Amino acid sequence: MSAGVYVHVPFCLTRCGYCDFNAYAGLGELAPRYVRALHREAELTGPDWAGEEIVSVFVGGGTPTTLEVADLTGVFADLRERFEVEPDAEVTIEGNPDTVDEVKLEGLLAAGYERLSMGAQSFDVDVLSALERVHSPTSVRRAFAAARAVGYANVSLDLIYGANGETVDSWGRTLEETIALAPEHVSAYALTIEPSTPLGRKVQSGLVPAPDPDVQADMFEMACGLLSEAGYHHYEVSNWAKPGFECVHNLGYWERRPYVGLGAGAHSYRDDRRWWNVRPPQEYLDRVEAGVLPVGGHERLEPSDAYLEEVFLRLRILEGVPASWIEPAKAEPFLESGLLEEHEGALVPTERGMLLLNKLVLALTG
Amino acid sequence: MTDTSHIRNFCIVAHIDHGKSTLADRLLELTHAVAERDMREQYLDKMDLERERGITIKAQAVRLAYETGGSAYELNLIDTPGHVDFTYEVSRSLEACEGAVLLVDAAQGVEAQTLANYHLARDAGLVIVPALNKIDLPQAEPDAAARELGELVGWDPEDVLRVSAKTGEGVTALLEAVIERVPPPEGSRQDPLRALIFDSSFDPYRGVVAYLRVKDGVLPSRSRIRLMASKLDSEAEEAGIFAPEATPVAALGPGEVGYLVTGLKDVHQVKVGDTVTIAGKHRAKDPLPGYREPKPMVWSGLFPAEGGDYGSLRDALDRLKLSDAALHYDPETSRALGFGFRCGFLGLLHMDIVKERLEREFGLELIATAPNVEFHVVRSGEIIVVHNPSEMPQPGTYDLVREPVVLATIITPSEYLGPVLDLCQSRRGELLDMKYLSPERAEVHYHLPLAEIIFDFFDQLKSRTRGYASLDYEHWGYEEADLVRVDVLLHGEPVDAFSSVVHREKAAQYGRSMVERLKELIPRQLFDVAIQAAIGSRIVARETVKAKRKDVLAKCYGGDITRKRKLLEQQKKGKARLRRVGKVDVPQEAFIAALRVDERTPGAKR
């Protein structure tokens, strides 16, 4: 079966208040060791994945573009050595606007990173500052132009909506600016407050209001409307693409295809087993340098777990779940109220249904 | 058997915390009833606690031996329940006495319960021995309190005894006064036996134990007895006294107080107020007067939080009933709360005790509906008794409704008289009379619907008087009232557990408050949920819980999948604790919070 490779780069120039990813600012000096460790881990893991066709590679973070082009070039070249990466595999790198310029982007494209996923987040200065993002709307436009200039034909922009101070109108302007740039792919995420983040603590102590779910719902509907008008296809709860530009790698997660994760805190999945690397970069380095796999934990999915995952992941994408999996009486009310639709024997959530996916999943599997 | 002329039967009546238990301790010490090394504080109360755990039987009446003036006396100190829920039980205990020590805290003065108990004691024909307690306290005002008390009982304030149960000062004089002022009991050994049951308890090993006072004749330790109201015969196993531990005796003679192991196993057969006589041809012709069936005054539906616990709840109620003759329950089915029981209680304290025991001793988690009174619906001359608001007929289908009314006595510092009167007026009260006990304190009598009292009245009274007012009440009877049933509908579906019977003038206000409260408690659903209050088909209040629009994790990639699945599993567990009302999911907690009437019951010593 076709599989994906994920590489995690945990370094950032600064840490954003809302982010709960495994990312660190100020650990840049570990980068050379970290790159060596990625090579070593690929060497250790590769043989386990012999025979798996790799159809996608995704280098994410953190901020992968904090690494040197030479290092990133080396990493991808090595992955091709250690894994059976298909010639037409989708190869994505994440970057944020302030860490890329034409020179760097040209190098990345030449190295084989043909898809660029850029964290734009917003075109509203106030929203960017509420998110503690250091870049400006101008730098997004500049970085995007640079990518086009060097020949990038597959660019995705990430957006976040519902931050403190953002109105439906300003979100509309962000969407229009995004559409004007005409990226091939757009991810738009409702801001989620994670309790363990600086923003989470501010919300808990009442310094910052929590996002209003109704306003976020309005923003979601606005995104659905504007992006669809602009020719984007809504293929997952938070993802839109021009036809043919759906993200192969991320679809792998939702279609429950196997994937191997390299780097600190990266997750892997195959044959109803999930495992994950230790999160702290230092611990990851120590283990890999000692020649051991840096696995920090694992779980085996029981058939009921697998079923629940299958249902909620399939419902996230337009594929939906086969109607035969669900008792008709459970689906009936949602078909009636327009949260679900039936397409060729599959139950597919409508856009309104996508917003209420947790409820749908619980009702259909309960 | 002691000659009646050397017997004194008395009780101590007092407002809560005026020092009754401490005085009992001093009396036990003074009469050497308890060896010094065995003495502990609140001796009799602690025996009571043990009884609750089924280890021993309570000393409801303790015999004290006291010598004075060359004569030996048998003094029986009879305990009286100190709470308004148990007025009838108090009256039976008083019936077993010839005298009562009316004990008043010298710092607090006369309180509502002092008055209520005084009236009960006087009505029972008891000789009153007034006494001030806590004269050792720096804030005690014995002269003022003596004036108040003297005025109340019509005594010269000079004759009001002054004691400190804490230090023992004046306690001997009190004992002497009891012997001197309280008359000995009457009654002849030759008459057929008549003994008054003033309390009973259940001992897991010995069955039902009756606490009784022999009025006429002799009760031998082992005899075939007859319970006259229950019309039951039984082989009694043992008669005895509390000294203060249970001590068997050969016989109890006229005027004596003690216990009887009845040989019966069901506490409901041994009723407070019943008369014990000898079975067969020697039996008494007429029972002692004043017997009454225990009658629940407050009703509430009890439902297990976990539907599967219905059987356990039934078993627990069956067990509690063994030792609680006043507890009443019938199976009830609520569309909202499932299977449970409609339970009848003597009052709010009794209700709280039962609920607490069910939860604490039987490990049950309960949902209780708001307490209600018993309504009498009159339809073409026929009376329909309603214990459950959701069973109240619709307006227009009956002639009239009657509700229980109480005679309430409130004592308040004069400065809070205004707020107290306002409260009573707002609760449909009818002022009967009002007088000043002193320039600083006033006594007010009101007719009040019991339904108003059980709804948060005591809390309101306390908060309007900074905790200084006291309340007591007795049942007065049933009176016609303009009452209507208010229903609460969720998404068009009536929720029987939320139905309530209220006065027509307050119905809309009640409906609004319920609807507003529920709006905060009902979580958003996938559709708009209308919450309505209705009288019959007329909607009097409405709120809407807007549909939930967003419930989805924005991001779900590699590492999130495990986390997301666990989150869903957790939500699934939470869903199991939801109850379905029509199409609406209502969390358990919403029922509990919506049905809670925040209040403390008057005089509850807990």
CB within 8 Å of chain B, chain A residues 292-311: 299, 305, 308-309
Query: One-letter amino acid identity for A27?
Result: L
Q: Does A357 touch chain B (CB under 8 A)?
A: yes
Instruction: Determine whether the interchain pair B526/A361 forms a contact, defined as Cβ–Cβ distance below 8 Å.
Output: no
Classify B77 as helix, strand or coil. Answer: strand
Is residue A122 within 8 A of residue A174, CB to CB? The reply is yes
**Per-residue pLDDT at B605:** 35
The candidate with the shortest Cα–Cα distance to A171, out of A133, A223, A212, is A223
Query: One-letter amino acid identity for B397?
Result: T
For residue B524, the distance in angstroms to the closest alpha carbon of chain A comes to: 11
Checking if the pLDDT of A311 tops 90, the result is yes
Checking if the pLDDT of B152 tops 90, the result is no
Q: Does A217 touch chain B (CB under 8 A)?
A: yes
Instruction: Determine whether the interchain pair B565/A308 forms a contact, defined as Cβ–Cβ distance below 8 Å.
Output: yes
Checking if the pLDDT of B48 tops 80, the result is no
Q: Which of B550, B551, B555 to mutate to test the interface with A (most CBs of A within 10 A)?
A: B550
For residue B58, the distance in angstroms to the closest alpha carbon of chain A comes to: 53
Of B546, B558, B571, Cβ closest to residue A253: B558
Instruction: Determine whether the interchain pair B564/A312 forms a contact, defined as Cβ–Cβ distance below 8 Å.
Output: yes
Burial B354-380 (b: 16+ CB within 10 A, else e): bbebbeeebebebbbbbbbbbbbbeee
Whole-number Å distance between alpha carbons of A267 and B562:
10
Chain segment A315-361, per-residue pLDDT in tens: 999 788 999 999 999 999 999 999 999 999 999 999 999 999 998 99
Residue B198 CA, chain-centre distance (Å), reads 16
Sheet with strand B127-133: strands edge to edge:
B61-68, B71-78, B7-14, B99-105, B127-133, B161-162
Q: Which residues on A lie below 8 Å from B556 (Cβ)? A: 237, 253-254, 313, 316
**Per-residue pLDDT at B214:** 96
Chain segment A243-264, per-residue pLDDT in tens: 999 999 999 999 999 999 999 9
Checking if the pLDDT of B319 tops 90, the result is no
Q: Which residues on A lie below 8 Å from B550 (Cβ)? A: 190, 213-214, 216-217, 220, 355-356
Q: Which residues on A lie below 8 Å from B569 (Cβ)? A: 308
Is residue A140 within 8 A of residue A118, CB to CB? The reply is yes
* Span of A75-79, B268-272, B406-410, B433-437 with lowest mean pLDDT: B268-272
For residue B551, the distance in angstroms to the closest alpha carbon of chain A comes to: 5
Of B550, B565, B571, Cβ closest to residue A213: B550
* Span of A112-126, B292-306, B525-539, B541-555 with lowest mean pLDDT: B292-306
For the segment B128-149, the average pLDDT, to the nearest whole number, is 92
**Which residue has better confidence, B559 or B427?**
B427
CB within 8 Å of chain B, chain A residues 317-356: 337, 339, 352, 354-356
Sorting pLDDT into bands at 50, 70 and 90, what band is B45? low
Chain segment B488-522, per-residue pLDDT in tens: 999 999 999 999 999 999 999 999 999 999 999 99
Q: Does B379 touch chain A (CB under 8 A)?
A: no
Q: What is the mean pLDDT of chain A?
A: 95
Q: Give, for B529, the enclosing helix (H) or strand (E).
A: strand B529-535
Classify A136 as helix, strand or coil. Answer: coil
Q: Does B547 touch chain A (CB under 8 A)?
A: no
**Per-residue pLDDT at B58:** 53
* Span of A293-297, B113-117, B254-258 with lowest mean pLDDT: B113-117
Instruction: Provide φ and ψ at B495, rounded to 5°.
Output: -105, 100
Q: Which residues on A lie below 8 Å from B548 (Cβ)? A: 213, 356, 359
- Which chain B residue shows the shortest CA-CA distance from A264? B559
Contacts across the A-B interface (CB distance below 8 Å): 96
For residue A231, the distance in angstroms to the closest alpha carbon of chain B comes to: 22
Classify B175 as helix, strand or coil. Answer: helix
Q: Does B562 touch chain A (CB under 8 A)?
A: yes
* Span of A246-255, A276-285, B12-21, B228-237 with lowest mean pLDDT: B12-21
Q: How many CB atoms lie within 10 A of CB A77?
A: 12
Q: Does B561 touch chain A (CB under 8 A)?
A: yes
Is residue B404 within 8 A of residue B477, CB to CB? The reply is yes
Of B527, B559, B565, Cβ closest to residue A276: B559
For the segment B585-605, the average pLDDT, to the nearest whole number, is 65
Checking if the pLDDT of B388 tops 90, the result is yes
Q: pLDDT above 70 covers what percent of chain A?
A: 100
Preceding amide of B244 cis, omega within 30? yes
For residue A237, the distance in angstroms to the closest alpha carbon of chain B comes to: 7
CB within 8 Å of chain A, chain B residues 206-225: none
Distance, first Cα to last Cα, chain B: 38
Is residue B239 within 8 A of residue B258, CB to CB? The reply is yes
Q: Does B577 touch chain A (CB under 8 A)?
A: no
Q: Enumerate the H helices of B306-367 as residue ranges.
A: 310-323, 348-362
Is residue A264 within 8 A of residue A22, CB to CB? The reply is yes
Checking if the pLDDT of B97 tops 60, the result is yes
- Which chain A residue shows the shortest CA-CA distance from B564? A309
> Tell me, what's the ipTM?
0.89
Q: Does B556 touch chain A (CB under 8 A)?
A: yes
